[in-house]
Structure 1
Amino acid sequence: MGRNQTFDTADAVRAARAVFWAQGYEATALPDLERATGLSRSSIYHAFASKRGLFDAAVDSYLDEVIRPRLRPLTGDDVAPGALDDYLTGLRDALLRGDTLPATSGCLLVNSANAPIGHDEGVAAVVEAYAAELRQAMTAGVRARLPHLPAEAQRTLSDVCVGLVISAFALVRVNREEAARTLDTARAVLASAVAHAGAGDGGSPA
């Protein structure tokens, strides 16, 4: 007869997620995960099969509970014209807030992409899918703000925003203000495109 599980899986995954996010996969040892989750090693293996299994669950949780809620205004059927600027502003504020994991540790997936675990085929596929999801959201935001911009120009502008967002995530661990400045640059590039489009139409942008 199998053992009855006496802990909440989602809570355990969130606790482990915080450790992986702050320390990285390689630097996180099983005793770290035991302390964070309150689970024994045998319970961790029973529930998740391995440290890697727990990491995969943490990444799924990170996408569902951290990344996608922030992107939601850019991924719905009706994206507001100001949704992309709101996203960039909100992310900037989050990275400047010193008591949060985004401010101290950046992005779990960006960090993983630049660590040895990023060479793992499964992790690389998740990071690639995340980048595609981010790009799709940025493109939707650009399209909502600049609907008359040619599609190629929309894609270029969204790629610039994606690159600057990822740069901000990478920078925040060493210089929070520089990360915020990177997002200010993304907002400025978007504002410049809006102003240019308005001037080209002979009037002010909507």
Structure 2
Amino acid sequence: MARTREFDTDAAVEAAMQVFWSRGYEATSIQDLVEATGIGRGSLYAAFGSKDGLYEAALARYAERSVGGAAERLDRDGPVRAVLRNLLVGMVEETVTDPARRGCLITNTAVERLPRDPAAGRVVGGALDRLTDAVTAALRRGRARGELPPDADVAALADFLVTTVQGLRVQGKAGADRRRLTTVVDTALRVLDAPPA
């Protein structure tokens, strides 16, 4: 007869996510995860299969929360420039108000784990695709309202803005201050004014 799991899986994933986000994959030991979750090594392996399995679950949790929140911000009514600026400045604020400057777990994973970790790559790729789709939808709405030129290449603009997001996350983790990062946001948004190539 199988033993009943005696711990809260969601709480374990949340605790592991915080550890991985703070320390990274390589610098996090199984003992770190045991201490953070309060769950024995054997139980962690039984529930998640491996450190990689727990990392993938933690990364998926982070991606859902982070990209889900961004998609909600992008789905708000209002001029597309204001909606995009609200998203980007919100990310700047998240970065500069985090005393540990952990950055973004999606970006951190892309730098630390890819391409050698295909499972993490699928989570990262899915998160970036979802963010790109949300930015593209916001830009299409703006174009339909006449806020962008009718022939604006919204797919290219979305790719550029998502790449800007990743750069903001890296610069913020490296210590760039609010003023510098906000200047990057405002400079990036000028692309919306550029005539088509």
What is the rounded CA distance, in whole Å, between the counterparts of 1:189 and 1:59 in structure 2?
28
Match of 1:105 among 81, 96, 102: 102
Q: Deviations over 1:65-123 (max 9, x none)?
A: 2331232232x5x6542322211121111111033x6xx11111211111145422222
What is the rounded CA distance, in whole Å, between the counterparts of 1:65 and 1:128 in structure 2?
15
Q: CA deviation at 1:57?
A: 0.8
Q: Which amino acid aligns with 1:111?
A: N
Match of 2:111 among 103, 114, 128: 114
Q: Which amino acid aligns with 1:142?
A: L
Structure-to-structure mapping, 1:9-28, within 5 angstroms: 9-28=9-28
What is the rounded CA distance, in whole Å, between the counterparts of 1:89 and 1:108 in structure 2?
18
Q: Which residue of 1 aligns with 2:129?
A: 132
Structure-to-structure mapping, 1:1-206, within 5 angstroms: 1-74=1-74, 76=75, 79-81=77-79, 82-99=82-99, 104-116=101-113, 118-147=115-144, 148=146, 149-150=149-150, 152-177=152-177, 181-191=180-190, 193-194=192-193
3-state SS in 1 of match to 2:173: coil
What is the rounded CA distance, in whole Å, between the counterparts of 1:28 and 1:117 in structure 2?
17
The answer (yes or no) to whether the contact 2:19–2:36 under 8 Å persists in 1 is: yes
Question: What's the Cα RMSD here?
Answer: 2.4
Q: CA deviation at 1:172?
A: 1.9
Q: CA deviation at 1:187?
A: 3.2
TM-score, length-normalised on structure 1?
Answer: 0.80
What is the rounded CA distance, in whole Å, between the counterparts of 2:134 and 2:180 in structure 1?
21
TM-score, length-normalised on structure 2?
Answer: 0.84
The answer (yes or no) to whether the contact 2:172–2:181 under 8 Å persists in 1 is: no
Q: Deviations over 1:25-66 (max 9, x none)?
A: 111100000011011101101111111111111011112223
Residue 18 to residue 145, structure 1, CA distance change in 2 (3 Å): same
Residue 61 to residue 118, structure 1, CA distance change in 2 (3 Å): same
The answer (yes or no) to whether the contact 1:165–1:182 under 8 Å persists in 2 is: no
What is the rounded CA distance, in whole Å, between the counterparts of 1:108 and 1:4 in structure 2?
32
Q: Deviations over 1:118-155 (max 9, x none)?
A: 42222222222222112112222223334342455322
Report how many residues are paired: 190
> What runs of 5+ residues in structure 2 fail to find an aligned partner?
none
Following TM superposition, the consecutive aligned residue runs of length 4 or more in structure 1 with deviations greater than 6 angstroms are none
What is the rounded CA distance, in whole Å, between the counterparts of 2:143 and 2:189 in structure 1?
9
Q: Deviations over 1:172-199 (max 9, x none)?
A: 2211317x634532334425635x68xx
What is the rounded CA distance, in whole Å, between the counterparts of 2:128 and 2:182 in structure 1?
17
Q: Which amino acid aligns with 2:156?
A: T
Percentage of matched positions with identical amino acids: 31
The answer (yes or no) to whether the contact 1:106–1:173 under 8 Å persists in 2 is: yes
Q: Which amino acid aligns with 1:59?
A: L
